[in-house]
Structure 1
Amino acid sequence: MRSREEHEKDTQKLSPAMFLATKYDIASEAWTRSSPTTAELRRLVAYSTSSANLLTKLILQDGYDSYGWKCLLRTPLSNYDVVVLLHRDKLPYPQHLLFPSELEQERCAVRGHATKIFHPFFSPGDFKVNSGELKSKLMVNFDPVRCFIADIEARFSDEVKVWYDAVGGDALGLTLGKASSKKRKHDGSTEESKDLSNMLKTIGEVGKGLVRSIHVIKAQKRNN
């Protein structure tokens, strides 16, 4: 009730869309104090519903298809407006990647190239140099994906929302924000398409060496 009263006093104030209380946390401070937002909750509900329907289907059909069961644990890339694929050997924990992401049919807007600028792990050859040079290569708690996401959010906070599997994902899902959605109402406008293209090129430049390719998903579906 206190949370609702605060929201009624200031409707512009962003508050969590879910209130999850437990016996040891009646005020819901541990789990839902800062999240999820309304958009995040809607997406979570949609994913849960989709997974529940698929699970029911697999059980009723006595399905033993390994791909079908894997789909329960991975987010469909078709649910995003844009997908950014990352070089797997540049991930902080490549061994955690269970389901590699691939996109073939969707339009590729930007194609990146691997680089030797950084690497999350030491190679066997690194240990042959002196200790001083080895220390210069040591980066404690370095997560290039987190840095990349922070850069995207800092530059395009109003244009895109970034979704990422922090446990071990090789793809970033981008959904267009309110500013971009208003622009895209004029479907077929070359000027708006150019704005989106320039933004994706900038994202590719920011993630140089980490970005494998950037694909436009929803725009192609509308055009088809």
Structure 2
Amino acid sequence: MTQTDPIPEDDLARHSRKMAKKKAARDRMMESRTGEKGLVIVHTGPGKGKSSSGFGMIMRCIAHQMPCAVVQFIKGAWDTGERRLLTTHFAGLCQFHAMGEGFTWETQDKSRDIAAAAAGWDRAKDLIRDPAIRMVLLDEINIAFRYGYLDVAEVLAFLEAEKPPMTHVVLTGRGAPEALVAAADLVTEMTQIRHPFRAGIKAQPGVEY
């Protein structure tokens, strides 16, 4: 049978019964999920897409007219597409704070890196405390944890004590600390199967930044 051949009636009926059962099961499951809360969301792992996924959530917030904010801990020195878009077209709904100065091998100054991370976290705390801001993206904060620029225990204690009940906080970057993964409501690990960089292809606008 090809895609253009008519589907036999018994196949159509079997498919219809199968989908009806699936819908009934799905409806029962959805009826039991009625709670709402502000989530702690982690995007980590060695694969590409951690920040991209976080910015996708930011765009959803904007589409729903939900005030949101971004604090970039590492890529602050980069001229990225998401930074251009958000600051040019959506500044009224999304605050954007580029606090980092680049990856640690670019600055080559640990004291500057620590100071930049601390300043970023101070700004993030003010944004998270504001109940009018519904989502705060802490882009590449896991890198700051990895290099010891920020204390994950301090960050988790703050989120537990001061994050408003309906505020979502998204933390991105590879190597998320185990304590953060254990405390988060939603954790996604990006795995790498193939990357063009290994084939000599440089980072390109629209794909990496």
Q: TM-score, normalised by structure 1?
A: 0.25
